Every structure is written in structure tokens, then in C-alpha cells.
Amino acid sequence: MKLKGTKTEKNLLTSFAGESQARNRYTMAASTAKKEGYAHIAAIFLETADHEKEHAKRFFKFLKEGGATEAIKVEWDFPTSGSYESTEHILRHAAAGEKFEFTEMYPGFAKVAEEEGFPNIAHTWKMIAHAESWHHERYLTLADQIKDGSIFKKTEKVQWRCDNCGYIHDGDCPPEKCPACLHDKGYFMVHFSEY
């Protein structure tokens, strides 16, 4: 089936634009997180920005393979209200966007692609929606930890890893400064040893 002129073509461009914007918003959010002393959250924003770039690349590749050579007009409400007033606020706003993608936008786009005869594109939207659900969960968890004060204080002893140098610290909270590289506690995150 030919992609040009289909709803799926427009949905691919909408997805490409949305993922591209998310990448830039998350890159900007990383600066706010770092300024507030959450270097590990800044790293998570940058990691997620890279994920969004890869999603955008998949959508753009489908467009190119489908023969998109001209401008395609789309109408969509892209978020601009993601105020950068605080890391917690940004995380909650980002989580809401991720939730919309995996609960409504991408399942809807996948359904249209299936109806129009593009099962491979539909499958891609479903798989990317799965990744977006993880982004949503991670952002909400981090926002909740900032709100309740548990981002740097746990109820039991855990291992904290310095994201700058890899130093591991045992305790209910990270040290104020890493004893190995002297970076502040904002570079510490809970260390997970399951690989």
C-alpha cells in the first residue's frame, strides 16, 4: 500500500515532530534539574532525550521510505506550557505527555495504520508506546521522591552510586560530597546491581 496521502503519513509526521520537540524539552529540562542539584535527574532527562531522538528517527525513516519528498501539512496541539519553574513540575508535565502518548496517541495511530494496511508501522507505534510507559513511570517516581523528600533520603540503608565517578556509598542518604571525586550529592543515585 502507498503511504503518500494517507492518515498514517500525517500521523508519522506528527509523531516525528512530537518526539523531536520532546527531545528538546528534555534537553532543556536537564539544565533546570542540574541547577537545582539533581545531576542524576539531569542525566535521566538527557538519556530520555536520546530515546526520543531514536523514536523520531524511526518515524522519519518510514516517511522517507514511503516517498515523502514534499511538505506535509498537519494540525496538532504541541505542548508549550511545560514551565521550567522546578524539576518536580517538569517531571510531572513530562509524565503527563508520556502518558498521553502511550494511552491515546500511539494506540490510535497504530489502529489507523492497521486499517490502512501498514502493520509494520502499527507495530512500531505499539513498541514505542511501551517505551513511553516506562518514561512515564520513571518521571512520576522521581517527581514523587522530590515531593516527599525521599530523593536523597531512604528509609533503609541502600547503595548510592556517584554518576560522575562510580563511587559506591552505603547508607540511607548519599554523602554531601563524593569522597572520590568531590562532586556534590546531586550526582548520586540509588545503585541497582541487577543486570
Domain ranges of the chain: 7-148, 158-190
As given in the structure block, the three cell numbers for residue 87 are 524539576
Q: State pTM to two decimals.
A: 0.87
Q: Would you say residue 51 has pLDDT above 60?
A: yes
At residue 82, the pLDDT reads 56
- pLDDT tier at 27 (50, 70, 90 boundaries)? very high
Between residues 80 and 112, the one the model is more confident about: 112
Helix axes 119-148, 87-100, angle to 10 degrees: 150
By the 10 Å C-beta count (0-12 exposed, 13-18 middle, 19+ buried), 112 is classed as: middle
Determine the distance from the C-alpha atom of residue 149 to the mean position of all C-alpha atoms in its chain, rounded to a whole number.
23
pLDDT(167) > 70: yes
Task: Annotate 80-108 with three-state secondary structure.
Answer: CCCCCCCHHHHHHHHHHHHHHHHHHHHHH
Segment 114-153, tens digit of pLDDT:
999 999 999 999 999 999 999 999 999 999 999 999 999 9
Fold of 158-190: Rubrerythrin, domain 2 (2.20.28)
pLDDT for 81 equals: 58
The predicted-structure confidence for 31-40, as pLDDT tens digits, reads as follows 999 999 999 9
Domains 7-148 and 158-190 in one fold? no
**The CATH number of the domain covering residues in 7-148:** 1.20.1260.10
- Grid-cell match 494496511, residue found: 117
Using DSSP, state whether 171 is helix, strand or coil: strand
pLDDT range class, residue 77, cuts 50, 70, 90: confident
Instruction: Tell whether the model's pLDDT for residue 194 goes beyond 60.
Output: no
Separation between Cα atoms, residue 30 and residue 43, nearest integer Å:
7
